[in-house]
Structure 1
Amino acid sequence: MAAGRHPRDRPRPRLGPRDRPGHVPAGPLGGDRVPGLNGRVGAVAVPAYFHPAAVDWAALADARLGVVVLNVDSGAGTVRDRAFAEVASRASDAGVRLAGYVDTAYGGRPACEVEDELVRYRTWYGIRMAFLDQVSAEPGHVLRYRRITAGARGRGMTYIVLNHGTYPDAAYSALADLLVTFEGPWSAYRHLRVPAWARRLPAERFCHLVYAAPRPVLARALARAQRCNAGVVYVTDRTGANPWDGLPEYFSSELALVYAER
């Protein structure tokens, strides 16, 4: 997806761990425990799908953020983009954790293509965290994603996010450090049901991305994330084809609520 565009359409509601089964990372984002959400582990993850010239990038120079997803051109692109390289450098200097966006086409892309894109992110932008999008949730694709995530780690990725956009088969929890298990509007988030296996894992293993949430429901959305055992969240009031093309009007308030105890 190019900067400023939404990922390809998917069923709504939609928008990492080692490869050996049963591995559970020690803490969110490489072991950093971020208190928030009334004492529960809490961090904000931002899908920053907008151009480097956008003023919103200045607001992202905040080391408290769990992860900021960089998406150059529906992925890393084919040539180094100087504007994105400058943004990535400034963000890294500020202590922001950047993840490179790669579309996996629900398992349809060969693992070598995914690996090559991640190498470009590492080489051109110094990024060593992977945000793999459009990830299958089906049990039949687990082995395919085991190869993909193993290849990503072999190419230097130290942290992997799988964006299913829904709760996948439980076996995927052994493949990534963080699973995005909800991406959708507030109207759907209010009715989200969490499977039993997901409640047995630490909250920092799960991320929820919620859009079309007006300011009056911000606190309720964050509280619902806590009840749904999601320790990494992003809530925005933006809507439309790409609700991730800018920050919410209440972004500073969202950070204050999540990181109130820091």
Structure 2
Amino acid sequence: MSHLTTPVGATRAPTGAAPLGLGAPGFGHPLLATAEWAELLRCPPGTLHWAVLNVSDGPGARPDPYCLPAAARLRETGVRVLGHLDLRRGARPYAELVSDAHRYLEWYKVDGFWLDRAPTGPVHLPATRRTTATLRALSDGGHLVLGHGSHPYPGYAECADQLVTFAGRWADYRWSQVAEWTADHPPQRFCHLVHSVPRTHLEEALRIARWQGAGTVYVTDRRATGAAGAVGDAWESLPGYWDACVSRIGTGVSE
């Protein structure tokens, strides 16, 4: 069933509560991805909701001299910088996560955390709730994004500011369905990440995001080249149509 069809008994996801914005989920290290980080600084105010800082699969073993100034420059524009923490689908030890969070906060002054590979099932909900409560306290109410990649058990909506309810390829996204329970929440609670989107389908992809009630999106023509199910490398470089994407964000592409 396509995104344009609402199942019987379902409610269309809420739209219009806030403009659609961009999230940058995984650009490379600022030393290697200088063009990407520079482009983020050029985004019009309010267009970019947040950018993820991943120093070395986390904060690294010591402060990185290139990451602190890159994060600081972006924060000066009013954009949140989120530290990357890998939950490993619920298998990451709590103590490791807290230790990495402390380093991110001390070394890079992050505004919150991107919790990659977040679990989706109810069995991991109590542990995730404990982790996010701790991270929120450590970061003084920082912004938390749970990177599920698909619709999780509804209880996860209580744990974070945003849930990534889609992360994958355009061929799947264009026929995807939104979970009915998401209609109980405003668009700013959800994020969609879509790769392998042809330039000719950019506006359609943004229209789907709005229709399904996402408040933050990242759309790219880059393709995932990693192992099955690993899409992170698709976000490492700018899409070929970056300027076109930025210009269409917040403009309300017609339904």
* Counterparts of residues 121-136 of structure 1 (less than 5 Å): 121-136=104-119
Q: Secondary structure at the match of 2:146?
A: strand
Looking at structure 2, the residues matched to 38 and 169 of structure 1 have their Cα atoms a distance apart, in angstroms, of: 25
Looking at structure 2, the residues matched to 214 and 38 of structure 1 have their Cα atoms a distance apart, in angstroms, of: 26
Q: Is this contact kept in 1: 2:27–2:36, CA < 8 A?
A: no
Partner of 2:211: 227
Deviation at 1:38, TM superposition (A): 7.2
Partner of 1:187: 171
* Counterparts of residues 57-72 of structure 1 (less than 5 Å): 57-61=37-41, 62=43, 63-64=45-46, 65-72=48-55
* Counterparts of residues 7-86 of structure 1 (less than 5 Å): 40-53=18-31, 54=33, 55-61=35-41, 62=43, 63-64=45-46, 65-86=48-69
Q: Is this contact kept in 1: 2:195–2:224, CA < 8 A?
A: no
Paired residues, number: 225
Looking at structure 1, the residues matched to 246 and 183 of structure 2 have their Cα atoms a distance apart, in angstroms, of: 25
2:153 counterpart of 1:162: no
Looking at structure 1, the residues matched to 191 and 206 of structure 2 have their Cα atoms a distance apart, in angstroms, of: 12
Residue 234 of structure 2 aligns to which amino acid in structure 1? Answer: P
Looking at structure 2, the residues matched to 249 and 199 of structure 1 have their Cα atoms a distance apart, in angstroms, of: 33
Give the TM-score normalised by the residue count of structure 2.
0.84
2:122 counterpart of 1:139: yes
Q: Secondary structure at the match of 1:67?
A: strand
Q: Secondary structure at the match of 1:72?
A: coil
Give the root-mean-square deviation of aligned CA atoms: 1.6
Looking at structure 2, the residues matched to 76 and 146 of structure 1 have their Cα atoms a distance apart, in angstroms, of: 22
Deviation at 1:39, TM superposition (A): 7.5
Give the TM-score normalised by the residue count of structure 1.
0.82
Partner of 1:253: 244
Partner of 2:4: none
Looking at structure 2, the residues matched to 260 and 198 of structure 1 have their Cα atoms a distance apart, in angstroms, of: 23
Looking at structure 1, the residues matched to 237 and 217 of structure 2 have their Cα atoms a distance apart, in angstroms, of: 16
Residue 95 of structure 1 aligns to which amino acid in structure 2? Answer: G
Q: Secondary structure at the match of 2:66?
A: helix
Q: Secondary structure at the match of 1:48?
A: coil
Q: Deviations over 1:44-99 (max 9, x none)?
A: 10113312132121100134201111111111111111111121121122222111
Deviation at 1:200, TM superposition (A): 2.0
Looking at structure 1, the residues matched to 198 and 70 of structure 2 have their Cα atoms a distance apart, in angstroms, of: 29
Q: Deviations over 1:142-201 (max 9, x none)?
A: 101011101111212511100000000000001100000100010000111111101221
More RCO (CA 8 Å, sep 6+): 1
Partner of 2:229: none
Partner of 1:148: 131
Q: Secondary structure at the match of 1:243?
A: helix
- Alpha carbons of structure 1 residues 91 and 40: separation in structure 2 relative to 1, 3 Å: closer
Looking at structure 2, the residues matched to 250 and 39 of structure 1 have their Cα atoms a distance apart, in angstroms, of: 26
